[in-house]
Chain A
């Protein structure tokens, strides 16, 4: 029971936190698939843009498992207000379509979210705090525009958003794509098309279809793992540590179960011997012990699964917020300082199966003992 509870809680927290990291870094920002100009990915300069094509967007949207295609124009700019200046990440979006994927409009904590054609910006809460600005204030943006054009203008702040990813929250400035294109002098140009997909596990099937539709060697479709190699490596490395911890937990659990079964067998040795002396076949006794152990194990595993489900659901709804120095460390790595719990039922299923398998493995011991014990010796034990 406790093995399932510990296993599920540990794994759920780990995978939930990864999902949260991916969610923060991918779904709320880059998307799971992006289409870019091939040269943009290497240099990421405003000069390597792709032309927006409503026809291409429409065709990609028709692919099964694709929800929508979001135009983006992203670059950097200096943002200034009063005496404070900072490098900002400027993101031009289609407010109507983008928020369907990122849910960014729900994160507005002050003011209003953007409307199509809006000439103002919404700003990350931490960036706003750094600049000391509020809704209705103006900011100055200066940057290098498309093909050497100077980009500089004054914009009002329409709203403040709280972005879960702290690193992004410190630099993010979002505007309507038309306004951003005009600012950079890049009308009709994009840095990327973000493909909003229904199922993140279908990425490998969707990308070849996109490539076939594009049929253009100057464009490339990238998956989130291509675009976030560091995040992927970080998750894989941490996941490896988690799996080692699980193996240690399973080892402790296995020897715990085995110890209990050895003790139970030793305590009942005399009882088993009496049963066989009276006429019970050893194979039936083995079957009874096996069923009994499976039944007990099943009760423990089911109760464990139920209790852990409760724990997981509770912490999924009320995640653990990390505070103090540890929160600072998380933020340094651009991770929201929150321990999320995944409600993916396959975690419970996997832990249930593993613990149950360990039980079956451990039950081999009494099977061997029963098949080899001598009645007289066991009766006198």
Chain B
């Protein structure tokens, strides 16, 4: 059963001007639970825009996004924020960890928002850091972690809220080969063992090779 359905989705920048940009163009897609999908395409083809729409971080110009039976376009800003918190995990290209918090506190952040108990937060955060191989770096701030380590903390953070799926936008773009392989192995393992759904936007061949499903975008349109 599809957990995400996109129908006739459009995102047009500079709408109403002489030079509108069709970043996402009549996209119809669906994603099944447990998928390890990669949206690939050249730079500027609309991968990130599509992922942002999927994550409820941006609003489409037209079309529908239905996640687990909920049409997110109809949610209020406040409800959409709560929906994101409880259903979607994000891994950004630039890691986007909160610099003043330690690795564990970064992972605990969403659980704070979910009003989890201190004990539960701590136990889950440490377990997630363990699963990405950073248990011993739990009390270190992001500034003292390497890029690969920061991105692994970001993965742990994305998993913290027990989301239905994780959106990863170019997660390996700033990582070297070893860190990339390490990160992808962790994600692949989480997908296989725990059945976590991953949707990547990437043009990195190392990511594409791992994909169970490839979606190719060109000028905002799905071409394959």
Contacts and interface: CB of A to CB of B under 8 A. Distances in A.
Contacts of B7: none
A271 B99 contact: yes
Interface stretch (A19-27, A124-132, A276-284): A276-284
Contacts of B90: 277-278
A255 to B, nearest CB: 27
Nearest to B49: A376
Interface stretch (B81-89, B123-131, B215-223): B81-89
Interface in A270-301: 270-271, 274-283
A274 B109 CA distance: 11
B89 to A, nearest CB: 9
Contact of A276 (B58, B81, B99, B161): B81
B110 A279 contact: yes
Interface residues of A, number: 15
Given A278-B113, A280-B113, A376 B57 contact: yes
A142 interface: no
Contact of B96 (A270, A282, A283): A270
Nearest to A274: B96
A379 interface: yes
Contacts of A275: 98, 109
Contacts of A283: 78
A271 B113 CA distance: 16
A278 B109 contact: yes
B42 to A, nearest CB: 19
Contacts, number: 47
B78 A281 contact: yes
A347 interface: no
Contacts of B113: 278-280
A135 interface: no
Contacts of A379: 57, 92, 96
A277 B84 contact: yes
Contact of B57 (A277, A280, A281, A282): A277
B75 to A, nearest CB: 13
B84 A278 contact: yes
Nearest to B57: A375
A240 B57 CA distance: 54
Contact of B85 (A274, A279, A282): A279
B57 A279 contact: no
A188 B159 CA distance: 99
Interface in A367-381: 375-376, 379
Contacts of B57: 277, 375-376, 379
Interface string B78-112: 10011011100010100010110000000001100
A375 B52 CA distance: 10
B61 to A, nearest CB: 14
Nearest to A280: B113
Contact of B110 (A270, A278, A281, A282): A278
Nearest to B96: A274
A281 B98 contact: no
Given A277-B90, A281-B78, A375-B57, A271 B98 contact: yes
Interface of A: 270-271, 274-283, 375-376, 379
30 contacts: A270-B96, A271-B98, A274-B96, A275-B109, A277-B55, A277-B57, A277-B84, A277-B90, A277-B96, A278-B84, A278-B109, A278-B110, A278-B113, A278-B157, A279-B81, A279-B85, A279-B86, A279-B110, A279-B113, A279-B161, A280-B81, A282-B77, A282-B81, A283-B78, A375-B58, A376-B52, A376-B57, A376-B58, A379-B57, A379-B92
* List of 7 A-B pairs having minimum Cβ-Cβ separation, nearest first: A279-B85, A274-B96, A375-B57, A279-B113, A376-B58, A279-B84, A278-B110
